[in-house]
Structure 1
Amino acid sequence: MMRILLWPLLLLPTMTMAQAPEPISHWLQTHCTECHSGEKPKGGIDLEVVIEDGASALLEDWRQIERVITSGEMPPEDEPAPTSQEREEMISTLRDWLQGILQSRPEVPGTVGPRRLGRSELQATIRDLTGVEVDVHRHLPADPSSDGFDNQGGALSTTFIERLFRIAEEVAVSAVILDDGNETPTTTYPIDEITIEGAGRILSDSAFFYSRGTASIDHHFPRSGTYQIDIRGWGQQAGDQPARFQIKIGAQKPRVIEISETRDQPGSRSIELTVPAGPQRISATFINDYYKPDHPEPSQRDRNAAIISFRVEGPAEGMEPSVFQVEALEGKGSPTERLARGIEHWLPRFWRGPTTPQQRQRLVETSTEAALDPNSAESLLRAALVAAIASPRFILRLEIDPPASSPGTIRDLSGHELATRLSYFLWGTTPDQKLLEAATRGELDDREGLLIQTRRLLADARSRSVATNFATQWLRIRDLGGLRPDTKIFAKFDRKLLESMRLETVEFFDHILRQRLPINELIEASYTFANQRLALHYGLEPIVGQQMRLLEVESPRGGLLSQGSILLATSTRQRTSPVLRGKWLLEVLLDAAPPPPPPGAGTLPLPGEEGADLPLREQLRLHRNEPTCAICHRRMDALGFSLERFDAIGRYRTGDIDDRGELPDGSVLEGIKDLKTNIHSSSGFQRSLARNLLTYALGRGLIDEDAPAVARLLVRLKSDPTIIALIEEIVVLEAFRRRLIP
């Protein structure tokens, strides 16, 4: 049985301390070795051998022993149980011993390969370098995720490079205005870039609606001004009205257009309006569905409609040269001379480090060959910008080892390499000029200089990236926008509510970080963030407006566990799921992920299937009767049931709801209050936050040699249990400041 629980045994390096302390060996011999020793130990693991090996045993063996004793999974129910005091003393002694082992081992940095900028990083980097907001997400597929985060790599396929060139060209057009002044930027969104909601489906050439439904796009307007929005579509005409669409752009007053054309000859309609700079949603909703199945003329029985494309043109007033363009082409001289002078200034920021005269000259030559008009400085700058962005030096975060480097040796990161790590860790974007200058002066080479810059970056608004990028991925709500609860059950759920839920968690995490509050506030806070829509949904005191604000709330609200984003992400489309919620708690907050379900483990019945009408607790009891399922579900279900008073979209339910959960050690959780206490008292919560934040900071999965680094982070949290303290400790770790040469 113990072998089943000790999954998977990682081949960690052996420890270098002495035998296990006598209280530990005595406890295991009293409660465990009767089953887990001898010629045929249960589960195939001989604890007598582990005890004898002591610190020479696999570290993960001891870690898993700590976990199963802490959770109450061991000793099993049918064996004599230790008293609560005996269990607590064992856990404390074992943790202290393991901590000492880890602290005695040296830190060894790992190897980080070339990493491609993720979509959010790329978009932020382009914005900070050029001032241009480009919707990278419409060009590139979702970033691959590894170890829970999407900042760990990604291949440069031919398709990706082609799309990167498209992005670079779009940026160049918006960032650099040609001197003839006759160009108006235009963006077309074909069917594969349109999102639909409601009663519709995607055809080969259009978004088709057979009842009320919406086609929409998200467009980044580069400047405030007057824009023309063209909507191309057709109607399956019937009745005495042509097909009508309600057009909505951002928060502006909706407008209605009529499309009388048919599929054979589609038509276009235009709307002109003034739009502020920034991202806006443009939507077209089919609003006059018509259905007369008994009409004598078959062609007049059903009115449907379709959208083929959206087209955005503008601003009509023209565009003033961007700050980037003005600075890149300042001074006098020939177009080529002005370009070369500008490249010397801006290319090091784009490539995040020093550039050589040869590299700069090569870019000038490439731009001269590629420019539409090589006699125009603006045309040359456009070509140079495209080439710089499409370069591997831009899209990849490179840490290039010296040619004479010996594999297996360790080197310090250069100042610019460290600046890049630091900036993308805390800002999710490129280093600013101050950070690059500090790197050039060597100020990042010592601990104090590195901490000075770290604190400066944390004080900047861009450090909100820790909440928007790290926290949403750690908590597994990054893709919340793809979740759609069953509207037949949750009729009032909509996209605005979904976005409010995401913002609640982001604002909450960012607040705890910036105010340097204890990390237990993540679990036990007596406040949350809400706007008018979310407060109404939660049944809180009414507030007005869409701005998120801090609200003091009464228990059980407050903290992550009662936030709609978490509760929605851990439910099915139709109902709550104690299994999903319990699994999330173990994996995300307690650093105690269960193993994958074994083949044939089965699932709970879906609505309409046999057994679906049984109470949820009874369905899970029957599921646990399967021997392959019982071990994991004992703890997982108990944790999940403690959140049962919250429905699948985060509303609190009163009445006859059973939210009790019995843990493997026999203790009982009476709802969310006891769950919060259980998590706060668990060493797994701090370990989970530390391990995940370190994984995100390094841009790679943790390896065996990172165990001492994690131990040092946990020591720091004991004296200063804040996210900022954790960040400050991470950036001075060997693993962050140095690299192992592969």
Structure 2
Amino acid sequence: MRSNASRLVMALAMCAAIGSGLFTGATVEGQSRTPAGTDGFREDVLPVLSKNCLRCHSDRQQAGKLSLEGFRDGALASERPEVWQKVLDKITTGQMPPRPMAPLSSADVGAVSEWIRTLPGIAEAAAGSAATADPGRVTARRLNRAEYNNTIRDLLGVTIRPADEFPIDDSGYGFDNIGDVLSISPMLMEKYINAARVVARAAVFGEPYAEKPGLLVSLNPKKMQDDLHAKGNETPYSMRGTLYATYHFPVDAEYEFRWRYGNYRGRGKPVGPGRPFASAAAAAPAPPDGADQPAAAARGRGAGRGAAPRRPLTDEERKAREEKLRAAFPPILMAFSIDGKTVATDMVEGDGNFDYAHGDNIVRVHLTAGDHQLRVSWPDLANHPNPFGLINADGRQELFVDYMRVLGPYNPSPAPPAGYRKIFICGEPGRYSPACVRQIVANLMTRAYRRPAKESEVQRLLELVDDVQKHDSVEQAIRLAIEFVLVSPNFLFRIEQDSATAGAYQLSDHELASRLSYFLWSSMPDDELFQLAVQNRLRDPEVLQQQVGRMLSDEKSSALVKNFGEQWLNLRLIDRTKPDSDKFLAMDDELLDDMRRETLLFIRAVMHENRSILDFIDGRFTFLNGPLARYYGIKGVDGESFQRVELDGEQRSGIVTHGSILTISSYSTRTSPVLRGKWVLDNLLGAPPPPPPDNVPALEDTDVGTAASMRERLEQHRANPSCAVCHDQMDPIGFALENYDAAGAWRLKDGNFDVDTTGTLPDGRSFAGARGLKALLRADSAAFVRHFTEKLMTYGLGRGLERGDRPFVDHITKEAAGDEYRFLSVVTSIVKSPPFRMRSKGGSL
């Protein structure tokens, strides 16, 4: 069965890789056809190109890897409409020619634009309407890692995440759910087979666990800030001493948590700037249990010189000494929480010598099977103004958790796993009639394949179940049936059937339900979607609109926030581009995680509150906790919990001033106006600059901030004409964000130089600072709205957009404009559009 399943999947993958056929137009017999767009090229277009463009876009220079020199007549030019589409976009937005070259006259822009719009493809897209345009075709899509985990959760009720161990999914057009790039390898097939075995066992019998309670895991926080991502049993570094992690518990049971904290208050602070030690290993050794450091040092200095032995302390002296140590620092609350709910507290008193030999804190808690968030922290430290002030001279935190050990399970529940009834929808354990078994198998296959199971498919699997039942239980037979289903191409791939009719056709209701659920939930349809599909009601526009609203308000829509939001904004880079901790002393892993959470909460608010997508540009609110608010310099926010904060728009508003975005668009040691400008052009406006030419020298940045400012260095860099073409677009945008350092903190000086945030775009528009940049983006919001729509549509369809999709994008943005570009309007218009509801007849899957 294993090799048959492998061959089926590999064959399907090969079919999916076959490209669709090309078609050509016919001409009337006996007549020659003049290619559209040839008239007027030599007279109106070529002179403009020769005067303004060919100096850089020649075969020799190829600025932006583009040469226009070969287009000497209209016939040749009309064969490359994709090139002229780019030219049209550049000249109509004023990006070309670049400064300091003179801009094209309005007459030249009009002449070139008018000719380009007559070209085949471009002319069809411009003249077409959403009612008549081709809806396109989507390749059969393999479930990516997130979709696999979510689907087995909703199909079988399991909480394990086996796909986390699968190979990383390839990305296309900025997303990892694009059918054309989601290939399947022999290694991945082996992972599927192993995962099917583990998942089926957990679904029917529950996850395995030891008969006797024992140590499950020892969680150990990182001892210093570094460039690595915490993984395995290691937890992120926190200068405030917090231990936090997500851990998976195998069964409903009691679990014991044992953690030991370190109290190193009063050990001395660093002298001078910077970190005192490269690692905790270089720190001074800890004192012996109960030792009085000054007294121990005095005894060491007097030893061997005839000093009289020190007499033992009396009880009163010992009590006085302990009281002095206890009173050296105020008591501070330590709290242990699970999923945000406090389950245990303790007061930590005195300096590092008080109660030094304390044991582990221990608490036992009943938990359900699945993932739970664990956190041990000192909540009051969330309000500390300077976390680096909590670091001692030896490199250790004043207060920290040394480790946490999780033991169990104690008194595990004998009840079936939570998803048992998702599978065994009839009968009772040990008593399943043949009719009930057939019902279980048919229901399993229908839900797993996301369509009604065929009778032949059900009968084939029933034969396997019957064979197993001859020598084993019904439960074991169903477990093997689940394994079979989980390695079937019908489960692993989202397959849409071709229609016998020519041209475009409507998707079936079940196919539409799958498109909708994987778009908004990254998972399979739920019972309500299945029921509407069975009733053939889902294609009703009113029903479809109602379902979009329902699904976006469901907690499962957090998958859209995370999977779309993180990839659109490049948030997944935050663990790979950490600021240098030696230069940015307030930075640690916990603060970076807070920055990421701020941005995800902001996206969630835009979505769940049905706000205008223009809030991404300059929305005057955000979500902060005490540490992040203090890092930003915003007052009135205390504690570890995130809360909504209204902003005045002076220093912070919109996502471009989020610490997460400012960090990922910088180098580890300095800001980069180039990277930040490129990020805005690419991620917000959909106008990414071309790659730099070959052999361009790197920016000289060794003395930036001391001998020269960043602006001066970049101006020298732009003196090269081949560099100026792109830098004139990127650098002004990046300069506007120079009030934020490479770690996202506000500043007024860059080294020895005042920050200059002014900039002028190639089209002559000038602005200053982040506020001026956002005003400019808001004034020209059409570019952002269109790009956001294209990105969300690409994610929802699972394919890249083509020229033929332009009428649909135009229609969606027009519809959304009537509702102030609210998020729900954009999503609903995408879901109602022909590319989402329909499919073109093609040559193969």
CA distance in 2, matches of 1:452, 1:32: 52
- How much does 1:399 deviate? 1.8
Q: Could you tell me the percent identity over the aligned residues?
A: 31
| Closer, same or farther: CA 187–87 of 1 in aligned 2, 3 Å | farther
CA distance in 2, matches of 1:446, 1:528: 37
> Contact (CA 8 Å) 1:103, 1:712: kept in 2 or not?
no
- How much does 1:453 deviate? 2.6
> Contact (CA 8 Å) 1:568, 1:649: kept in 2 or not?
yes
> Contact (CA 8 Å) 2:599, 2:658: kept in 1 or not?
yes
SS class of match (1:111): coil
1:267-320: CA deviation from partner (whole Å, max 9, x where unpaired): xx99884264443467999xxx9x9xxxxxxxxxxxxxx99x998753642352
> Which of residues 534, 553, 557 is equivalent to 1:440?
534
* 1:430 alignment counterpart: 524
* 1:383 alignment counterpart: 480
* 1:590 alignment counterpart: 685
Q: Which amino acid aligns with 2:143?
A: L
Map 1:161-310 to 2 at 5 A.
161-177=189-205, 198=224, 218-227=246-255, 273-274=364-365, 276-277=367-368, 278-280=370-372
Judge which range, 595-604 or 688-697, deviates more.
595-604
SS class of match (2:634): coil
Map 1:561-572 to 2 at 5 A.
561-572=656-667
* 1:740 alignment counterpart: 841
Judge which range, 111-120 or 132-141, deviates more.
132-141
* 2:668 alignment counterpart: 573
CA distance in 2, matches of 1:364, 1:491: 64
CA distance in 1, matches of 2:446, 2:452: 5
> Which of residues 706, 709, 724 is equivalent to 1:630?
724
* 2:830 alignment counterpart: 730
The answer to whether residue 642 in structure 2 is matched with residue 548 in structure 1 is: yes
* 2:804 alignment counterpart: 705
SS class of match (1:738): strand
TM-score for the superposition, normalised by structure 1: 0.77
- How much does 1:571 deviate? 1.1
| Closer, same or farther: CA 350–633 of 1 in aligned 2, 3 Å | same
TM-score for the superposition, normalised by structure 2: 0.68
* 2:598 alignment counterpart: 504
SS class of match (2:767): strand
- How much does 1:709 deviate? 2.3
The answer to whether residue 494 in structure 2 is matched with residue 397 in structure 1 is: yes
The answer to whether residue 655 in structure 2 is matched with residue 560 in structure 1 is: yes
Q: Which amino acid aligns with 1:226?
A: E
* 2:427 alignment counterpart: 331
The answer to whether residue 127 in structure 2 is matched with residue 104 in structure 1 is: yes
> Contact (CA 8 Å) 1:516, 1:724: kept in 2 or not?
yes
> Contact (CA 8 Å) 2:662, 2:743: kept in 1 or not?
yes
CA distance in 2, matches of 1:78, 1:684: 24
* 2:409 alignment counterpart: 314
- How much does 1:325 deviate? 1.3
> Which of residues 117, 128, 134 is equivalent to 2:154?
128
CA distance in 1, matches of 2:523, 2:716: 50
User: Which entry has the higher C-alpha Rg, 1 or 2?
Assistant: 2
CA distance in 2, matches of 1:172, 1:314: 22
SS class of match (2:645): strand
> Contact (CA 8 Å) 2:253, 2:411: kept in 1 or not?
yes
1:592-643: CA deviation from partner (whole Å, max 9, x where unpaired): 1111122212333465x89995322222223223343221111111111111
> Contact (CA 8 Å) 2:196, 2:482: kept in 1 or not?
yes
SS class of match (1:444): coil
- How much does 1:69 deviate? 3.1
> Which of residues 554, 561, 568 is equivalent to 1:474?
568
* 1:160 alignment counterpart: 188
* 1:343 alignment counterpart: 441
CA distance in 1, matches of 2:598, 2:147: 22
* 1:262 alignment counterpart: none
CA distance in 2, matches of 1:132, 1:223: 11
> Contact (CA 8 Å) 1:132, 1:222: kept in 2 or not?
no
- How much does 1:475 deviate? 1.0
* 1:657 alignment counterpart: 755
1:431-453: CA deviation from partner (whole Å, max 9, x where unpaired): 00111111122113343443333
- How much does 1:117 deviate? 1.6
Instruction: Give the root-mean-square deviation of aligned CA atoms.
Output: 5.1
| Closer, same or farther: CA 79–490 of 1 in aligned 2, 3 Å | closer
* 1:296 alignment counterpart: none
> Contact (CA 8 Å) 1:135, 1:220: kept in 2 or not?
no
Aligned length: 689
- How much does 1:697 deviate? 0.8
| Closer, same or farther: CA 54–506 of 1 in aligned 2, 3 Å | farther
CA distance in 1, matches of 2:186, 2:223: 32
> Contact (CA 8 Å) 1:606, 1:612: kept in 2 or not?
no
| Closer, same or farther: CA 652–180 of 1 in aligned 2, 3 Å | closer
> Contact (CA 8 Å) 1:19, 1:53: kept in 2 or not?
yes
Unaligned runs of 5+ in 1: 1-10, 256-268, 292-305
| Closer, same or farther: CA 735–626 of 1 in aligned 2, 3 Å | same
| Closer, same or farther: CA 275–532 of 1 in aligned 2, 3 Å | farther
Unaligned runs of 5+ in 2: 1-21, 26-33, 260-280, 290-333, 347-359, 378-391, 395-401
Map 1:498-537 to 2 at 5 A.
498-537=592-631
SS class of match (2:622): strand
Judge which range, 568-577 or 484-493, deviates more.
484-493
| Closer, same or farther: CA 230–93 of 1 in aligned 2, 3 Å | farther
| Closer, same or farther: CA 132–546 of 1 in aligned 2, 3 Å | farther
CA distance in 1, matches of 2:794, 2:766: 34
1:499-545: CA deviation from partner (whole Å, max 9, x where unpaired): 22222222222222333322222112111122223222211123234
1:228-278: CA deviation from partner (whole Å, max 9, x where unpaired): 6899xxxx9x99989xxx9999677699xxxxxxxxxxxxx9988426444
* 1:603 alignment counterpart: 698
> Contact (CA 8 Å) 1:179, 1:378: kept in 2 or not?
no
- How much does 1:692 deviate? 0.7
